[in-house]
Amino acid sequence: MGADKIRVKNIKLNNFKLKFGRRKGIIYSLLTLLLLTPSIILMIMYFSSARIEGENLSNKIRADDLNSFQKSLLEDLSRSLKISTQRAILYADELIATTGKPLSDSSKNISEMVLYGTLDNKPVPSLLGSGGSTCNTVSCWKENYTTIAKQVGFDLSVDIVSVSIKPYDSWNLNSSAEIKISLNDTGTNSSISHTVTQSSKVPITGFEDPLYIIETNGKVSRLIKKPTTTPLVKGSTGFNWSIGIIETDFGSGNKNKTFVTNLDLSTLDLRNFGSAISKNPASTDQVPFISNADDLSKLSNGDKVFIENVTYSVWSLTSEISSRSYHESYSGPSYLDRLEDKTYIADSRKGMPNAIGLVSFVDPTELGLTFKSGLSCVDYLYFSETSDGFNCY
């Protein structure tokens, strides 16, 4: 009996130890789980944050790509405007040389060529691309960039509102296009949508002067170029232009002479002269003048000079006739006017912020037997058959 009691006690003891051990294991497991839970939560939060940051970074990269694409698109539009405008001018010069007829509306005609590659709805091969050359119209630019946008995963819509050709200054045209852009990245919902005007400054130097071609029936071809010499004198202010003969004797004035002095022009009666140049900074409203001139020692009695009032410079008239150079002008026709065979600035082009006109001087040796004596040597006055009573030669 005693042995049985002991066996029963041992069994109970073992059962207790087993139950206690199981409970102890559960407690340890719970403690371990409690200890690991913050780490697990932190890991979940970390990976979730990393995923969000990755998505944000990806979206930012695509947004940057979208902005870069738009910048590249606009820069390329400027290049396209410049190239197409230059080719349109070249075609216009060739057409005028071939037909002897001016453009009807140079701004409108060139705009049409730049936008569509046509003139009066007739194709211009040099703009549309032929013989392996590239199409350089603004319409082709639009098609090219729409295709490129698709290749990089963007949806591009461009509406060309208008193309405009205007004088920028005497030496450049302003070729501009107003466009509406809608650029979207469907993957990130990023988008750019606005209306913008992009411009390009197009030099006209090196092109033929159409006025000479038309007025001489193609006998004279003259390229537009800036002066190759330096001015004799430069001032800081002035009024109007003039050509004259240098005179330093105040008592020997006439309307063909340019009085040169160190005196204050506002104190002098200059009505006997055609123009004046002074080292003094004062001005006058009596005649065309340049004041605050830098070095009058370069001017000698009898010299024939051209007073130019855009840069307030005095040039040797003889040198400018022989060099066949052009000068900026407030009154001479602009390049666009010359394409229309105008000897003046059209009303639609007046009021520009910069001087837009051009002037050169007729060289009798260039015109040969067709030269008409007795007319002004100023090109636009000569071609309008105007006499100013001054003998340039």
Residue 11, in any domain of the structure = no
Q: Which residue, of 184, 203, 222, is where some domain finishes?
A: 203
Please indicate, yes or no, whether residues 273 and 229 belong to a single structural domain of this protein: yes
Please indicate, yes or no, whether residues 335 and 214 belong to a single structural domain of this protein: yes
Please indicate, yes or no, whether residues 329 and 224 belong to a single structural domain of this protein: yes
Q: C-alpha angle with apex 247: 242 to 251, nearest 5 degrees?
A: 115
Residues in CB range of 98: below 8 A, 6 or more apart: none
The answer to whether residues 374 and 354 touch, using CB atoms and an 8 Å cutoff, is no
Q: Could you read off the pLDDT of 21-50 as tens digits, one per residue?
A: 555 566 666 566 566 566 666 665 555 554
Which tokens belong to 390?
């001054």
The pLDDT score that the predictor gives to residue 57 is 47
pLDDT (mean) for 252-271 = 96
Residue 352, in any domain of the structure = yes
Is beta strand 242-247 parallel, antiparallel or unpaired with respect to 304-308? antiparallel
Please indicate, yes or no, whether residues 184 and 286 belong to a single structural domain of this protein: no
Name the DSSP letter for residue 392: -
- pLDDT exceeding 90 applies to what percent of the chain? 75
Q: Which of 30-44, 47-61, 290-304 has the highest mean pLDDT?
A: 290-304
In terms of Cα–Cα distance, which of 136, 108, 141, 142 is closest to 124? Answer: 136
In terms of Cα–Cα distance, which of 299, 98, 320 is closest to 210? Answer: 98
316 or 52, which is more confident: 316
Residues in CB range of 235: below 8 A, 6 or more apart: 277, 290, 291, 292, 293, 294, 312, 313, 314
The answer to whether residues 190 and 62 touch, using CB atoms and an 8 Å cutoff, is yes
The answer to whether residues 128 and 117 touch, using CB atoms and an 8 Å cutoff, is yes
Please indicate, yes or no, whether residues 342 and 194 belong to a single structural domain of this protein: no
The pLDDT score that the predictor gives to residue 152 is 87
Please indicate, yes or no, whether residues 155 and 248 belong to a single structural domain of this protein: no
- For residues 144 and 151, what is the distance between their CA atoms, to the nearest angstrom? 11
In terms of Cα–Cα distance, which of 277, 365, 375, 355 is closest to 318? Answer: 365
pLDDT reading at 142 higher than 60: yes
Residue 189, in any domain of the structure = yes
Q: Could you read off the pLDDT of 315-351 as tens digits, one per residue?
A: 999 999 999 999 999 999 999 999 999 999 999 999 9
The whole domain housing 101 covers 71-203
- For residues 214 and 220, what is the distance between their CA atoms, to the nearest angstrom? 9
Residue 230, in any domain of the structure = yes
Distances (CA, A) of 368 to 33, 213, 254, 341: 109, 14, 31, 21
Residue for token pair 């936008």? 115
Would you place residue 1 in the very low, low, confident or very high pLDDT band (cuts 50, 70, 90)?
A: low
pLDDT (mean) for 259-277 = 97
Residue 34, in any domain of the structure = no
List the CATH number of the domain containing 355: 3.50.30.10
- For residues 48 and 54, what is the distance between their CA atoms, to the nearest angstrom? 10
Phi, psi (degrees; rounded to nearest 5) at 227: -55, 140
Please indicate, yes or no, whether residues 245 and 359 belong to a single structural domain of this protein: yes
The pLDDT score that the predictor gives to residue 50 is 46
- For residues 160 and 137, what is the distance between their CA atoms, to the nearest angstrom? 12
Burial (CB count within 10 angstroms: exposed 0-12, middle 13-18, buried 19+), residue 375: middle
Residues in CB range of 175: below 8 A, 6 or more apart: 81, 82, 84, 85, 114, 163, 164, 165, 199, 200, 201, 202
pLDDT reading at 53 higher than 80: no
Distances (CA, A) of 151 to 81, 160, 193: 24, 22, 20
Please indicate, yes or no, whether residues 158 and 217 belong to a single structural domain of this protein: no
Residue 323, in any domain of the structure = yes
Burial (CB count within 10 angstroms: exposed 0-12, middle 13-18, buried 19+), residue 241: buried
The answer to whether residues 359 and 378 touch, using CB atoms and an 8 Å cutoff, is yes
Please indicate, yes or no, whether residues 243 and 343 belong to a single structural domain of this protein: yes
Q: Which residue, of 156, 174, 203, is where some domain finishes?
A: 203
Domain count, the chain: 2
Is beta strand 257-261 parallel, antiparallel or unpaired with respect to 242-247? parallel
pLDDT (mean) for 60-88 = 89
Which tokens belong to 273?
């002269």
Please indicate, yes or no, whether residues 316 and 371 belong to a single structural domain of this protein: yes
Phi, psi (degrees; rounded to nearest 5) at 279: -75, -25
Which tokens belong to 93?
């010069």
Q: Could you read off the pLDDT of 171-221 as tens digits, one per residue?
A: 999 999 999 999 998 777 788 899 999 999 999 999 999 999 999 999 999
Length reported for the chain: 393
Residue 8, in any domain of the structure = no
Distances (CA, A) of 171 to 151, 275, 311, 387: 40, 27, 14, 27
Strand partners, 247: 259
pLDDT (mean) for 362-388 = 94
Provide the 10 A C-beta neighbour count for residue 384: 15
Residue 6, in any domain of the structure = no
